[in-house]
Amino acid sequence: MFDLHHSGVLMGRQLVVSAVTLTLFIPCLSQFLFMVRERGLKTTIALSSLVIVFAFSMGYCLNKLLLILEIL
């Protein structure tokens, strides 16, 4: 993402929003499979759905907040 920002493809605000959204997201497939093994498929799908909605919602809210405050 740094290279995309450095080459002018991403603006600073987009870089911050994407970093926050990716941080809140489920990190990888192995984490998902571990959750399936520990919690079961139904619970994992429910938790993953909530995490995905939460991550994108926070990214959206952060983007709107940065636009309103004219930061980045």
Q: What ranges do the domains of the chain cover? A: 2-69
pLDDT at site 72: 76
The mean pLDDT of 66-70, rounded to a whole number, is 95
Token representation of residue 61: 């809210």
Q: What is the pTM of this model?
A: 0.81
Using the 8-state DSSP alphabet, how is residue 26 labeled?
Answer: -
The 10 Å Cβ neighbour count of residue 47 is: 14
Tell me the C-alpha distance between 2 and 7, whole Å. Answer: 9
Nearest in space to 35 (alpha carbons), one of 20, 54, 49 = 49
Is the per-residue pLDDT at 5 higher than 90?
no
